[in-house]
């Protein structure tokens, strides 16, 4: 297998930042974007002001409105928001070759089915080699070329090591694992927990409460991981704890800033109003709750976020209930 060219499916903030990272790794890049204005802005002016403002893009990034242009590349990065991955993958299916590596870069769980992104990939693109890329990495940082370290998961060791080598660079360090479930679970659940951390901040509950919330949230992630077969070392690594620390600790996170707005008293529609950017935790919270209920896993923080988002409880009542729960050693 050879990986000289990379097709990126999705011209949002992360797809565009990944295009930058791939150019830095020395790859040819074809970036497919849904919005024709994004395609023309990247090709004519080397900017994506709609989704990644303020970043001068590598002039070698070729944007395209044709899925086939990106699908023809040696490897693909699938960077649509989680709720749209199935539809995009379905469209890609006839264009992809057997054994072509496809790397899932979305962080979420499909709301309609409760399926993880890897399951969606296996159902829609059975002919490809599936992989998952996840870790602490804001698009704005990676787009500018600041250093980041992420995990790339692939069941096939040779393919996974090749992906790590060909997609990574000194400033975009990739570590291979074969624990796909662990990597994608961490990336999905941390988005829900970042909303919770933002709510605590928005309520003005202080740094001590924030740390307690994140720690107990991490215990929820580990309980879910145990039930789904994730390896503990994956969850304490970059794609689990690493991303949780980043996302819960910075208002740069869209999930955390949405939580802050909810914590300050805004309704969900007010907090989301006018935003083009996707806030994955909003859609993933219900799926996490459903899995937790089905498997009888105790995940009260994720359940509270789900209830607040669905309007079943107020922020104050949810926090009051959480604070009455007994603490256990594992928290
Ligand atoms: N922005 C970031 O810092 C990071 C984002 N991610 C993940 O990457 C994924 C994509 O997020 P971003 O690139 O940040 O998106 P974004 O929030 O910047 O932009 C929204 C994206 O959604 C696409 N979109 C809207 N409606 C669609 C539809 N009906 N079908 C297909 N695509 C549609 C838009 O074309 C655009 O690419 C998410 O799962 C996110 O969690 C992962 C790591 C970092
Ligand atoms: O996944 C991310 C950083 O690793 C981005 O988080 P947000 O979607 O909350 O901005």
- Residues 103-148 have pLDDT tens digits of 999 999 999 999 999 999 999 999 999 999 999 999 999 999 999 9
Considering the chain, what is the average pLDDT of its residues?
97
pLDDT in tens, 278-304: 999 999 999 999 999 999 999 999 999
Does residue 87 lie within any of the structural domains? yes
Q: Is residue 47 part of a domain?
A: yes
With respect to residue 297, please indicate whether it lies within any of the assigned structural domains.
yes
Q: Last residue of a domain, which of 145, 178, 211?
A: 178
Which of ligand 2's atoms lies nearest the C-alpha of 194? 9
Domain match, 267 and 278 both: yes
Q: Residue 119 domain-assigned?
A: yes
The pLDDT, as a whole number, for residue 275 is 87
Regarding whether 213 and 109 lie in a shared domain, the answer is no
Contacts (Cβ under 8 Å, ≥6 apart) of 104: 78, 85, 117, 118, 121, 130, 131, 132, 133, 184
In the predicted model, residues of the chain with pLDDT beneath 70 are 331
- Minimum-distance ligand 2 atom for the alpha carbon of 280: 8
The alpha carbon of 145 and the centre of ligand 1 are apart by a number of angstroms equal to 19
Structural domain contains residue 331 = no
The answer to whether 239 is a known ligand-binding residue is no
- Determine if residue 274 is labeled as part of a ligand binding site: no
For ligand 2, the distance from its centroid to the CA atom of residue 265, given in whole angstroms, is: 22
Q: Encode pLDDT of 30-55 as tens digits.
A: 999 999 999 999 999 999 999 999 99
In terms of domains, do 208 and 172 share one?
no
The length of the chain is 331
In a domain, 329, yes or no: no
Q: How does DSSP assign 249-289, residue by residue?
A: H-TTSHHHHHHHHHHTT--HHHHHTT--S--HHHHHHHHHH
Of 115, 149, 178, the residue that ends a domain is: 178
Whether the CB-CB separation of 250 and 139 falls below 8 Å is answered with no
Strand (E) or helix (H) holding 9: strand 5-9
- The tokens for 198 are 């933002």
The number of distinct structural domains making up the chain is 2
Same domain? For 169 and 298 the reply is: no
Residues 95 and 122 in one domain: yes
Tell me: is residue 34 an annotated ligand-binding position.
yes
**Containing structural domain, residue 289:** 181-324
Ligand nearest to the CA of 110: 1
Strands (E), 181-313: none
In terms of domains, do 235 and 257 share one? yes
Q: Which atom of ligand 1 is nearest to the CA of 82?
A: 39
* Residues 104, 234 within the same domain: no
What's the rounded Cα separation, in Å, for the pair 149 and 198?
Answer: 24
Owner of token pair 């990379």: 6
Do the domain assignments include residue 330? no
Whichever domain contains 195, its CATH number is 1.10.1040.10
CB of 152 within 6 A of ligand 1: the answer is no
Q: Are residues 22 and 128 in the same domain?
A: yes
Q: Which ligand is nearest to the CA of 52?
A: 1
- Interval between CA 320 and ligand 1 midpoint (Å): 34
């Amino acid at each position: 297998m050879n990986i000289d060219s990379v097709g990126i499916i999705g011209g949002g903030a992360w797809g565009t930042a990944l295009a930058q990272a791939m150019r830095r790794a020395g790859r040819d890049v074809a970036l497919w974007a849904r919005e024709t204005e994004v395609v023309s802005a990247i090709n004519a002016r080397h900017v994506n002001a709609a989704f990644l403002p303020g970043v001068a893009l590598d002039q070698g990034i070729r944007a395209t409105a044709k899925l086939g242009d990106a699908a023809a590349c040696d490897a693909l990065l699938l960077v649509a928001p989680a709720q749209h991955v199935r539809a995009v993958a379905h469209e890609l299916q006839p264009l992809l070759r057997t054994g072509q590596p496809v790397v899932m870069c979305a962080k979420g769980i499909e709301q309609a089915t409760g399926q993880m992104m890897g399951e969606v990939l296996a159902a829609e693109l059975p002919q490809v080699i599936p992989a998952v890329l996840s870790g602490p990495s804001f698009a704005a940082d990676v787009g500018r070329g600041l250093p980041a370290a992420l995990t790339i998961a692939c069941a096939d060791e040779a393919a996974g090591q090749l992906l790590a080598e060909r997609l990574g660079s000194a400033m975009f360090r990739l570590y291979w694992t074969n624990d796909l479930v662990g990597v994608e679970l961490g990336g999905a659940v941390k988005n829900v927990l970042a909303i919770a951390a933002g709510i605590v901040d928005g309520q003005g509950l202080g740094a001590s409460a924030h740390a307690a919330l994140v720690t107990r949230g991490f215990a929820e992630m580990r309980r879910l991981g145990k039930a789904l077969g994730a390896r503990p070392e994956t969850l304490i690594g970059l794609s689990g704890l690493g991303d949780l620390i980043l996302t819960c600790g910075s208002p740069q996170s869209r999930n955390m800033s949405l939580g802050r707005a909810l914590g300050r008293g805004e309704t969900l529609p007010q907090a989301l109003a006018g935003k083009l950017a996707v806030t994955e935790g909003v859609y993933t919270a219900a799926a996490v709750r459903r899995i937790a209920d089905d498997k009888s896993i105790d995940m009260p923080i994720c359940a509270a976020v789900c209830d607040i988002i669905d309007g079943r409880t107020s922020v104050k009542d949810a926090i009051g209930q959480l604070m009455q729960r007994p603490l256990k050693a594992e928290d």
